[in-house]
């Protein structure tokens, strides 16, 4: 992945000409975000008389500790989910080695906003957004797991506690609080459920919303085979409530309202305690991702934001301990 934008533009131009003909060109390229695991660029694909806004997404995390689904498989998954009519960006093409870009892929641009605080500031459409999210999630969970069998080989598709220990052990820094949480989960098992496709990063910030309409579910790099309660628990994890702590479901609604909406849209009836189990798991998981960013920083992927993640783990560990104590819900 080249670092300089002009170099990216040259390679992107070559990549689109290879696929759409010599007349195709790239215009209005801009960097959207440098996320935790990817670089996102927006650009216009101009071809003949048509102009289309597209999004390039390249993975920035690599190495043996990388827990994210390879971009090629994300692209394959996106194609399946998009074909099923679940709101997702339309996949356009995946990069290959000739492109000298990526690993990554290009999708259609989707209108809307993702920024959590902006989304939560105006509650006019929160109920409609919750309903739309639960409709999309219930349909996602109902997809034939056989069509995404390629996800089975990832640790998260197996026992979640064992998977988390594998991830943590690879990061070479002991975290007693996170291990304490895992042991608590082990001693208080959650009901076993049939595994289906789990989005894996279903939280405010990864939903593209336009008014009352959910236009896309984004960020499929954590997808795996799992319990439907896991996606609901991640949405409710305390770190993702953006300060609206009594509205467990991402600051949008209470946990009970979320579970009613999920059931009303065709999802299984799931009890609050089962979701709480996954919220505890979510705090451990978010802690692990922060340890991971600091590990990456120490390995050479330097930035102030990644560096401070290593210290920010204390926030998740504190919330975890307070939740285990019963002081937080």
Partner 1 sequence: MRHHRPDASELLRTVASHLHALRERLDHGDRYQLIVCGHILDLVAREIEAPPLAEMDEAKLVAEIRTGARDETWGATFDLIMHRTIARLAVVRPEHLAPEHRL
Residue 322 found at the interface with partner 1 (CB under 8 A): yes
184 to 243, contacts with partner 1 by CB under 8 A?
A: 187
Q: How far is the CB of 285 from partner 1 (least distance, A)?
A: 17
Residues whose CB is less than 8 angstroms from the CB of residue 204 and which lie 6 or more positions away in sequence, other chains included: 116, 119, 120, 235, 240, 242, 250, 251, 252
Angle separating helix axes 272-298 and 160-169, nearest 10 degrees: 20
Specify the residue, 53 or 183, whose C-beta has the smaller distance to partner 1.
183
Q: Is the dihedral of CA 96, 101, 104, 105 positive or negative?
A: negative
Q: Candidates 40-48, 225-233, 266-274, 321-329: pick the segment binding partner 1 (CB under 8 A).
A: 321-329
Report the Cα 231 to chain-centroid distance in Å. Answer: 10
Q: How far is the CB of 291 from partner 1 (least distance, A)?
A: 13
From its phi and psi, is residue 115 left (phi > 0), alpha (psi between -120 and 50) or beta? beta
Q: Of these, 17, 165, 244, 301, which contacts partner 1 (CB under 8 A)?
A: 165
Q: How far is the CB of 138 from partner 1 (least distance, A)?
A: 34
Q: Of these, 93, 260, 324, 329, which contacts partner 1 (CB under 8 A)?
A: 324
Residue 302 found at the interface with partner 1 (CB under 8 A): no
Q: How far is the CB of 165 from partner 1 (least distance, A)?
A: 7
Residue ranges in the chain assigned as alpha helix (H) = 5-20, 71-83, 116-121, 126-141, 160-169, 176-187, 228-236, 255-264, 272-298, 304-325
Give the residue among 29, 13, 18, 100 at the shortest CA–CA distance from 58: 100
Residue 150 found at the interface with partner 1 (CB under 8 A): no
Residue 175 found at the interface with partner 1 (CB under 8 A): yes
C-alpha distances (whole Å) from 93 to each of 13, 157, 185 are 14, 27, 41
Residue 177 found at the interface with partner 1 (CB under 8 A): yes
Tokens for 88?
């997702």
Q: Of these, 118, 179, 227, 302, which contacts partner 1 (CB under 8 A)?
A: 179
Contacting residues toward partner 1, per CB under 8 A: 31, 34, 165, 174-177, 179-180, 182-183, 187, 303-305, 307-308, 311-312, 314-315, 317-318, 321-322, 324-325, 327
């Amino acid at each position: 992945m080249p670092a300089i934008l002009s170099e990216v533009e040259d390679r992107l131009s070559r990549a689109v000409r290879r696929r759409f003909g010599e007349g195709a060109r790239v215009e209005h390229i801009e960097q959207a975000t440098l996320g935790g695991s990817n670089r996102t660029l927006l650009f216009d694909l101009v071809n003949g008389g048509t102009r289309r806004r597209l999004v390039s997404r390249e993975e920035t995390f690599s190495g043996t500790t990388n827990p994210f689904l390879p971009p090629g498989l994300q692209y394959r998954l996106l194609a399946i989910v998009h074909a099923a009519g679940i709101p997702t960006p339309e996949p356009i093409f995946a990069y290959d080695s000739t492109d000298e870009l990526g690993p990554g892929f290009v999708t259609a641009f989707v209108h809307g906003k993702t920024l959590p605080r902006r989304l939560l500031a105006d509650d006019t459409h929160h109920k409609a957004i919750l309903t739309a999210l639960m409709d999309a999630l219930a349909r996602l969970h109902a997809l034939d797991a056989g069509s995404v069998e390629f996800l089975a080989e990832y640790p998260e598709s197996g026992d979640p506690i064992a998977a988390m220990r594998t991830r943590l052990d690879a990061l070479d820094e002991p975290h007693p609080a996170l291990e304490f949480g895992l042991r608590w989960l082990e001693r208080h098992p959650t009901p076993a459920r049939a595994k289906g496709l789990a989005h894996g990063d279903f939280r405010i910030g990864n939903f593209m919303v336009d008014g009352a309409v959910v236009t896309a579910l984004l960020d499929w790099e954590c997808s795996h085979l799992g319990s439907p309660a896991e996606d609901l628990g991640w949405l409710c994890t305390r770190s993702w409530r953006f300060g609206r702590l009594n509205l467990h479901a991402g600051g949008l609604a209470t946990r009970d309202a979320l579970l009613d909406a999920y059931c009303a849209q065709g999802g299984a009836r799931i009890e609050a305690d089962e979701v709480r189990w996954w919220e505890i798991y979510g705090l451990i998981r978010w802690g692990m991702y922060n340890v991971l960013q600091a590990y990456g920083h120490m390995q050479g992927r330097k930035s102030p934001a990644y560096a401070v993640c290593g210290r920010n783990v204390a926030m998740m560990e504190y919330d975890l301990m307070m939740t285990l104590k019963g002081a937080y819900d």
